[in-house]
Chains A and B, each alone.
Chain A
Amino acid sequence: MSNFTRRDVFKLGAGAAIVAGAAGRIAPARAADLTFTPEKGAKIRVLRWKQFVQGDIETFMASTKKFVDATGVEVRVDTESWEDVRPKAAVAANIGAGPDIIIGTNDDPHKFPEKLLDLTDLADYLGQKYGGWYDVCRTYGTRDQRWIALPQGINGSCVNYRISHVKAAGFEKPPQDLAGFRKLCQNLRKNNTPAGFALGHATGDANNWTHWCLWAHGGKVVDEHDKVVLDSPETIAALEYAKELYPTFIDGTLTWLDPSNNKAFLAGDCSLTGNGISIYYVAKTSSDPKLQEIAKDMDHTHYPIGVSGRPTEQNLMLQAYVMKYTKYPNAVKEYLRFMWEKEQYDPWMIASLGYVSQPLKYYENNAVWTSDPKAKPFGEVSKLVIQNGYAGHLGYASAAVMGDFIVVDMFAEAASGAQSPKDAAKRAADRARRYYEV
């Protein structure tokens, strides 16, 4: 382990818990301030996911500069597409050199938890000050009761739909039950305003909706003991459901990649899909009157709730973790604390235009959700998300199963009729076993 110096000041008020403000708004609790004194001459390197919107990185860099000016710590920020951060993080952890802070995704910190700096003090402080972490953030951030990563937010996905087309199909808004949702998709098809969900190797979109569908029917890849239980009646029910949905989709979903549904929705060809806020954002800010019309006629809602009676959504978790090899643990923690405090985090969320949903409950109040009611559902996804690899542990196997598109392929096989739901489930279970039962 590198030369870890004790932090200088760490005082947490004993009773500093969540304090709810007026009208249910969560106000920051009066947790005693926590600061870490950066090491002399500290220089830190940050590797983070490449921005979805320009405002994100501009605000992130402006806040970083504020930190540099205030502390004298040198900070270098590099960005990579989020899928490329993953291998770099693994290599950095293995060879013990590279960026001090990595802001990556999903299961990554759980692949090398022993190589990561304990962030429990910082996470506890932030949790107490800002209304607590959402459950899924705690799951992604902790391992054996120890915080190994600081959730930065969730790249939320919601059901995007055309208001007038859904109304024409006989519904005020997309129903929140499975049967109603299927009926809506069938009616949309009849009206020649079809829905479309990606079934190709679309890392974000395809994984999001297929995992939702699997979990909504009570299916799961593994149980609590990481035993593969995918080949189950619940999974087959989910696949039967997808098989009924698939004929209602617009043509070509079997090979849709992440940008495909954005293109089809913005062209007016697809009337309901699962996506982040990007479609709406592009339509709203476009100077093309046709796209502005789509922005006016579209809205967002959550995926239906299935047999388990609870929301079962899958989304991309963004989180920061610190390599133990860092020479400047205090500078690194102080930087993270600074960036997660409301003075920096609030404007960053606003600049991110709703692409990132908050990990801490206090930020539910953020103006990005209240200024435009159509963005509101994205502000709620943190409450609804289940971690990848549910109900098992996060780690190499859960990451590999998603990386190998096992759940997506299973749905694609069953939905398109290439395999029966029973065979598709069995084949996927065999594939998952190769990762879980080594």
Chain B
Amino acid sequence: MAVESRPLAPPLPLAYGWLERLMQSRNLLGFLFLLPAAVLLLLFLTYPLGLGIWLGLTNATLGESGRFIGIGNYLSLARDDVFWLSVYNTLLYTVVASVLKFGLGLWLALLLNQHIPFKAFVRAIVLLPFIVPTVLSAVAFWWIYDSQFSIISWALVRVGLITHYIDFLGQPNAARASVIAANIWRGVPFVAISLLAGLQTIAPSLYEAATLDGATPWQRFRYVTLPLLTPIIAVVMTFSVLFTFTDFQLIYTLTRGGPINATHLMATLSFQRAITGGRLGEGAAIAVAMIPFLLAAILFSYFGLQRRRWQHGGRD
């Protein structure tokens, strides 16, 4: 094919001006830069969320798209004991585990913030429970809590403290305590390491000044550490609460919601109803029912813990 060579013509003045003006527009550029993120959000967050909410309003089953039934699923769940039990279990699980994870995590972070030998090594070790895949640690706990093979019971029997093996997962309240303990074991490192990062951003000069002013260790913690750590605490605890509230693997591996649904969380019940039981609409409704609780947790964290004045040691 012949190639005709000709000098480059200058762009048409009109088009040039139009493109130039457009590319100079801050609004358009802003929009363009925002677009990929917006598409990702819409595609992978808004759409599934919307679909979940829609499914919760239908009588869809696995394999059938179902039809719109309004709030039928919610009315039916409102009369369902097992659902309310799962709500109670989820709240108990989240509140107890989160409070203990926060307490233990903060304590651990403060310890790790001291000058200790092999500091880096110890900090790495602390992260281990968080690094192990949840299912693996859950299987380990399944053996630890086994009614016949529990290492805890075995050790206590050997020492002579008990005569019978403890039935960790067999009684409702013991089972709840056991799964909460497993969750805490897994969650503490995340809280501790994140808070440790926060602690290290606090300027040593503040502590020096406080010490010179005669502040006790408790006062240094209460009026220097805590206020400056609050923004990190807010973020870390928001995540921690969200992880705990939506926990699934631990329960599914340890108890599948038993005994007699005493450890069924909303997430595990949602799976049982939607996938095992085939009632996709009802399962979706249970999942959607988790949203208000999660929103409340996020709002509490953002509008409560992140108040500037509180962070600076003042009162509301």
Contacts and interface: CB of A to CB of B under 8 A. Distances in A.
Interface string A254-269: 1101001001100101
Nearest to B165: A251
A438 B59 CA distance: 10
A250 B149 CA distance: 13
A47 interface: no
A251 B255 contact: no
Report which residue of A254, A255, A264, A438 has the largest number of chain B beta carbons within 10 angstroms of its beta carbon. A255
B148 A399 contact: no
A404 B272 contact: yes
Most A CB contacts (10 A, CB to CB) among B165, B171, B275, B277 go to: B277
Contacts of B175: 255
Contacts of B82: 409, 431
- Among A252, A267, A269, chain B packs the most CB atoms within 10 A around the CB of A252
A427 interface: yes
B62 A427 contact: no
B167 interface: yes
B275 A255 contact: no
A36 B146 CA distance: 53
B278 A200 contact: no
Interface string B76-100: 1000111000000000000000000
A412 B272 contact: no
B258 A200 contact: yes
Interface residues of A, number: 44
A403 B170 contact: no
Contact of A111 (B63, B148, B257): B63
Contacts of A269: 148
Interface residues of B, number: 36
A143 B31 CA distance: 58
B307 interface: no
A403 B278 contact: yes
A200 B277 CA distance: 17
Nearest to A438: B59
Contacts of B316: none
A254 B258 contact: yes
A251 B272 contact: no
A254 B63 contact: no
Given A200-B258, A255-B255, A400-B278, A90 B80 contact: no
A252 B272 contact: no
Given A251-B165, A404-B272, A409-B260, A267 B149 contact: yes
Tell me what chain A mostly uses at the interface: helix, strand, loop, or mixed.
Answer: helix
B167 A403 contact: no
Interface string A85-96: 011011101100
Contact of B63 (A93, A202, A404): A93
Contact of A399 (B76, B171, B256, B277): B277
Given A255-B258, A263-B146, A267-B148, A396 B61 contact: yes
B260 A254 contact: yes
B123 interface: no
A435 B260 CA distance: 19
Contacts of B255: 200-201, 255, 257
A263 B260 contact: no
A405 B146 CA distance: 22
B213 interface: no
Contacts of A202: 256
B65 interface: yes
B276 interface: yes
B147 interface: yes
Given A86-B276, A267-B149, 13 more contacts: A83-B276, A87-B62, A87-B275, A90-B62, A200-B258, A200-B259, A203-B276, A250-B148, A254-B171, A399-B278, A400-B279, A403-B277, A434-B80
Interface of B: 59, 61-65, 76, 80-82, 146-149, 164-165, 167, 169-172, 175, 255-261, 272-273, 275-279
